[in-house]
Amino acid sequence: MPTSPGVRIVDSADVADDATIGSGSSIWHLAQVRETAVLGENCVIGRGAYIGTGVVLGDNCKVQNYALIYEPAHLGHGVFIGPAVVLTNDTYPRAVNPDGTQKSAHDWEPVGVTIKDGASIGARAVCVAPVTIGAWATIAAGAVVTRDVPDFALMAGVPARRLGWVGRAGQRLVEDGSHWVCPATGTRYRENEGALEELAEHD
């Protein structure tokens, strides 16, 4: 497989020969990385996690134990996937066709979940494809995401709904007049028609 310096793959992991593993990445016990998957630099794939065929991960992603990342998912840089998270890929799942014959790979079209830079998906959350999770958004543990999520959104529930906003540090933003402020970094944001914009220091 095409690998770079500093890659660690434990003996019990199952990594396809044509998967690409970036420098500094680690793949732990019983994890499976399928054919043509691409992992960026410094990724961590936890015990028992599954990375599907052709799935793409950016740099510095963490996929925790027993998460299932089905193709054709695409993860940006710095994405966190919690334990037992599922990214689905079948809009109309069935084991059989309408005539009762067993479905094959040719009988359905996979659809993917896209997760943008810095977003975090909490433990046991399910993202139902096709959806896009915005940059730096946080999906709470156990949530079921059925529609696109804006950047910096804090989502929870079944189905997931926006409870507020979070900053790059992951903490919930505090409303301050016409702005939102991160209590950890002091960064200010402006909300406009259901979207959040990070402001420059002089704004």
Q: Which of 77, 106, 179, 202 is catalytic?
A: 77
Residue 29 known to be catalytic: no
| Cβ 61 vs Cβ 118: under 8 Å | no
| Cβ 115 vs Cβ 74: under 8 Å | yes
Torsion of CA 38, 44, 45, 47, to 10 degrees: 160
Sheet holding 38-39, edge to edge: 20-21, 38-39, 56-57, 74-75, 113-115, 131-133
* Catalytic residue numbers, as ranges: 77
